[in-house]
Structure 1
């Protein structure tokens, strides 16, 4: 439902998302094995399997929507799952046992576009973190290509992140929408934190 534009009720969604998810973000960053200075290929395999367990049901759920970040004017989809599968298929990861991640609860079928913008914020932001990890780990974990961390774009995640922020700020403006976006972002973080057990 389109709400009338009311500048007095607007809030900066990006600032609210950062503030609302900061503690969760720090817990995740510090709790993942791949964040350790001596991260190994086994840690990378775990990271990929964790992300697959988190992203696969999320992407299946998001595919049922055709508005908001999933609308015709949204950014093109990134092949997260195919990058993960290609990385897991590398010979250097052969024989590494997959963790047993418990299935997450179903995502809300009636989620607002603003809530889904919040979920997308977490996924898009994770690509920035991946680029930082790629720079740190590319030599350490060579010759593995680290496709998922490197991402699919030649220019890195920066241009896409800037385009995403512009769209997010244009689409999520009222206090109610910002609150919904924060709820979606927190839920996205809470689900991966629960899977990771951190």
Structure 2
């Protein structure tokens, strides 16, 4: 992943390598039964709430444990807190505040700042796919950015520019093979963790 001078990491090579090496675990997450149920024409509000409650766990865990570790890398981190949006979406669609507060939060097995940056790559990348989910639940469940689907609205019209800003800061930080490798490893593990976390919800619903 070195640049042509051999002095550091080439940004384009790094981000392409990150996408390539996480593609399998990313695809596995998209094939998850709960992920697929969310995009079916017959998606139910219960499906939506189950999916959203699991994302709340991950997002809250990230904001509590991951964000402090990467505050020096991403100067706009304060704008990227979104767990409160999920909580509001759940309450609007029928959860009580107490029920949301009792949702379990999984452990996030990242190591160091580079590991935390890898987790954040997955979390921020979800804002892009979220727009697809938003259109679907708006059409089939009647949810909107103002009522029940604020999380999947991402950053609204700024979603694209926020993603580009994130990638720019991430690639600037990944200035050594060691950092780049840890980011890629952590991102891969995070996709798998979320896939397993969603699968547990499916198993629990069948008990």
Q: 1:7 to 1:62 in 2, by over 3 A?
A: farther
Residue 194 (structure 2) pairs with residue 192 (structure 1): yes
Aligned-CA RMSD value: 2.7
Q: Report the Cα distance in structure 2 between the residues aligned to 1:143 and 1:197, rounded to whole angstroms.
A: 24
Aligned to 1:140, the other structure's residue is in SS state helix
1:80 maps to which of 77, 82, 99: 82
Deviations 1:107-147 (A, max 9, x none): 34xx3322222111100100111111112321211145311
Q: Report the Cα distance in structure 1 between the residues aligned to 2:159 and 2:106, rounded to whole angstroms.
A: 28
Q: 1:7 to 1:135 in 2, by over 3 A?
A: farther
Q: Report the Cα distance in structure 2 between the residues aligned to 1:29 and 1:113, rounded to whole angstroms.
A: 27
Decide which structure has greater helix share: 2
Match of 1:27 in 2: 28
Q: Report the Cα distance in structure 2 between the residues aligned to 1:188 and 1:176, rounded to whole angstroms.
A: 18
CA-CA distance at 1:23 after TM superposition:
1.2
Q: Report the Cα distance in structure 2 between the residues aligned to 1:175 and 1:55, rounded to whole angstroms.
A: 28
Unaligned runs of 5+ in 1: none
Q: Report the Cα distance in structure 1 between the residues aligned to 2:5 and 2:112, rounded to whole angstroms.
A: 21
Deviations 1:17-52 (A, max 9, x none): 111111111111121121333222111101111111
Q: Report the Cα distance in structure 1 between the residues aligned to 2:88 and 2:105, rounded to whole angstroms.
A: 23
Q: 1:22 to 1:63 in 2, by over 3 A?
A: closer
Normalised by the size of structure 2, how large is the TM-score? 0.77
Aligned residues: 185
Match of 1:123 in 2: 123
Normalised by the size of structure 1, how large is the TM-score? 0.80
Contact 2:85 2:151 in 1 (8 A): yes
